Structure 1
């Protein structure tokens, strides 16, 4: 378990973006294998001795080390050197860099809304035939649409996440007789029971994420809209076929507010309600390890953050240190519905070596390589779920490959002025005390008119 001091120190380092620059030659927790490589899987991409491809994105720390390792054999077999630079400010800076002609060759964009904004600026290169062929072979058609603008495909999906997980300690649940809730009402009752037991506040949460501060709160709202009002209303909301301040959205905000704005519910192990805004999302769930909170809402990718030093002391599993259950439906017999996210490698430079890299990243070979390294999943249909590094990630891959109702993260689909701006900022103001109605009215007013 990590001490309170260490957890806060980690939060300061992450929030400040110290060490955000990650290069392909970096050292980290994954050693570079310099042995012989079987290049049979890589001959289709060609050889490009002396060529360099730069990649930028939001992926940091251990996850960035693993990303770099995932293409190490590709580099050796094709001769392409890949330089990766990660920063928490990528989303805020990439359009400025593109406009100035300083964008990386490839940008790993985490939002279809941002992809559309970059395309509207005239900066993106359409995906090559090889990339499109991989999308058609390995991905559900819905994922293809997320990387498409006006009928032109600009990017294949990369990694994915299943959102709406509630992380908890299996040992605490067993010791105290807590049961996994099967409905939203049961989740509320469980939270109230934990609060009444008096050992600690039930929930721990954090919205801080640099320029993207607030996004974890949007995930809460999206999960409640999907479960309370269903996928049709969710789609109408995301596409602005109903206004942002519709009664269904107000209902979801108010339901989330019973947790995030309630001093009897948060912020266990961290502070009062105001600390929900200032606590880094990377560290917000760690009080569970110290027995200072019981529940934390975060996506499947949060598995990586349970061992922030890259170790293995904390295990993820039904009998491990931590595990997670999906946010339940309104009624026990309702179909399971989940939200999720993913990234899209867009190209800013038209070159064969750039498209070779993008073709590899859209393949089942890359997806299995990366999933095998641990901590992430992919919706690529060629991924073997058994390659996942934990019971939870295997389950998440099976969810993405199955018949579960899936909807992409709503804020990622909305126009950037909303999904990556007013919605994030609105969540912060709302947790800080602004009323639900004032919040949704302000976000609605920010929606672009064209």
Structure 2
């Protein structure tokens, strides 16, 4: 996620095919078979796991691949476990290193000649920086590209490309286009989850009329040095609905100005909820309290009757108190943020990580190919027993995911009508995406006008 707006561990802890999936279902082979496969490194000897995709890379037995990420213990273990079938097939030793200083250190290491073989990069903007500023990133092999073409929405390949060259396959993913609510409370009140934006606004008005002691919505923009980022997500999600994903692309790329009239309309649409004192900020105070309420606390009044609705990403599931029934009939659940026109595209805002290589040795390319496969996605799902992880890989069997929220996220990403777009501020110049955009949204929620806010951010765009 952009510039550590959310700790990476939240993303990692808490996204011939049928033949591969069948093979994936039985990767927990006996210790005897595992030992034999590891020793030989020969394809076809790792139990029923299909090793044949890696034969093309030659004899890899005894080689090593190093991986550097921001995911630290204990959240690193599911990743390490998910590599075992590949190691058993090939004899490659995959060595893991996680660091809380990942983003600060990665470029330093690469420029200093101490690059890892593989890094898990959490946004396209950092990938572009690595390509342009270091010249050390290696293009992905054809086998990896073929997997991405087969198993991912085309947008993901674009986000893993720089200047027309495909470098990085997607890894994990998250979905931001959700509204959290309490199914139990909705059932008691007779409310139904909305299907359109008009339905959402009608529900908002109904809740405000029905319960004068609460508010329909609660929200929190607070996040320490990153305060304001939840507001950027609101604008990004709504712009795709009031305009289109194509307009969103133009805006992110600054092909239209940040303060384009279509963006003004989108932010005013957000303001119709977040700047209306009749609708916010349930459980916390007035509209201004949104700026000082942390995003972690933002949705909690749903459980205590202070509010009913909270727009936040799939990873918010990790913020509910222990013992909360997070399920479609439970204490907390989420519905898709409705489109204005449900017959058009189904915009999905989200984020994720990408696999970036700094070496083109056969064992590195084989490992890249494994991480882009349906095999790996299913293995990772099974090796994450506590949930909190999902992939946009369409070869992922949703039933292999433990958490109901992870299953919902995967089904959203795999929906044929879904049009996925990466978090916009993650792709904007850092001065804007992690700077004036965050500040502008904070100033906006505390009283600055829509036009002045967007004009301020537009004026900061690097020339």
TM-score class, shorter-chain normalisation, is 0.7 to 0.9
* 1:387 paired to 2:397: no
**1:222-371 aligned within 5 A:** 222-306=236-320, 313-331=323-341, 333-349=343-359, 351-371=361-381
Contact (CA 8 Å) 2:116, 2:358: kept in 1 or not? yes
Contact (CA 8 Å) 2:399, 2:407: kept in 1 or not? yes
SS of the equivalent of 2:143 reads helix
Aligned to 1:27: none
Return the alpha-carbon distance in structure 1 between the equivalents of residues 445 and 109 of structure 2.
32
Q: State the Cα deviation string for residues 304-347 of structure 1 (Å, max 9, x = none).
A: 4435x6xxx33333212221111112246555332232221212
Deviation at 1:136, TM superposition (A): 2.9
Count residues with an aligned counterpart: 419
**1:50-449 aligned within 5 A:** 51=64, 53-57=66-70, 59=71, 64-74=76-86, 78-87=91-100, 90-91=102-103, 94-95=106-107, 98-100=110-112, 104-121=116-133, 122-196=135-209, 197-209=211-223, 212-306=226-320, 313-331=323-341, 333-349=343-359, 351-372=361-382, 373=384, 374-409=387-422, 410-449=424-463
Contact (CA 8 Å) 1:113, 1:419: kept in 2 or not? no
Return the alpha-carbon distance in structure 1 between the equivalents of residues 130 and 114 of structure 2.
14
Deviation at 1:140, TM superposition (A): 3.1
Contact (CA 8 Å) 1:92, 1:211: kept in 2 or not? no
Deviation at 1:390, TM superposition (A): 4.4
Q: Residues 431, 142 of structure 1: CA spacing in aligned structure 2 closer, same or farther, 3 A cutoff?
A: same
Contact (CA 8 Å) 2:68, 2:96: kept in 1 or not? yes
Contact (CA 8 Å) 1:117, 1:416: kept in 2 or not? no
Return the alpha-carbon distance in structure 2 between the equivalents of residues 271 and 139 of structure 1.
43
Q: Residues 352, 219 of structure 1: CA spacing in aligned structure 2 closer, same or farther, 3 A cutoff?
A: same
Aligned to 2:42: none
Return the alpha-carbon distance in structure 2 between the equivalents of residues 216 and 271 of structure 1.
18
Q: Residues 182, 261 of structure 1: CA spacing in aligned structure 2 closer, same or farther, 3 A cutoff?
A: same
Q: Residues 298, 102 of structure 1: CA spacing in aligned structure 2 closer, same or farther, 3 A cutoff?
A: farther
SS of the equivalent of 1:159 reads strand
Deviation at 1:298, TM superposition (A): 1.6
Contact (CA 8 Å) 1:49, 1:79: kept in 2 or not? yes
Tell me how large the CA RMSD over aligned residues is. 3.5
Q: State the Cα deviation string for residues 382-438 of structure 1 (Å, max 9, x = none).
A: 111222334554343333333314131223333444334332332233224332222
Deviation at 1:50, TM superposition (A): 7.7
Contact (CA 8 Å) 1:64, 1:86: kept in 2 or not? no
Contact (CA 8 Å) 2:155, 2:421: kept in 1 or not? no
Deviation at 1:114, TM superposition (A): 2.5
Q: Normalising by structure 2, what TM-score?
A: 0.78
Deviation at 1:65, TM superposition (A): 4.8
Unaligned runs of 5+ in 2: 13-27, 35-45
Q: Normalising by structure 1, what TM-score?
A: 0.80
Unaligned runs of 5+ in 1: 1-13, 23-32
Aligned to 2:18: none
Contact (CA 8 Å) 2:63, 2:363: kept in 1 or not? no
SS of the equivalent of 2:235 reads helix
Q: Residues 347, 388 of structure 1: CA spacing in aligned structure 2 closer, same or farther, 3 A cutoff?
A: same
Q: Residues 221, 17 of structure 1: CA spacing in aligned structure 2 closer, same or farther, 3 A cutoff?
A: closer
Q: Which region of structure 1 is more displaced relative to structure 2, 78-87 or 142-151?
A: 78-87
Q: Which region of structure 1 is more displaced relative to structure 2, 119-128 or 268-277?
A: 268-277
Q: Residues 15, 156 of structure 1: CA spacing in aligned structure 2 closer, same or farther, 3 A cutoff?
A: closer
Q: Which region of structure 1 is more displaced relative to structure 2, 38-47 or 245-254?
A: 38-47
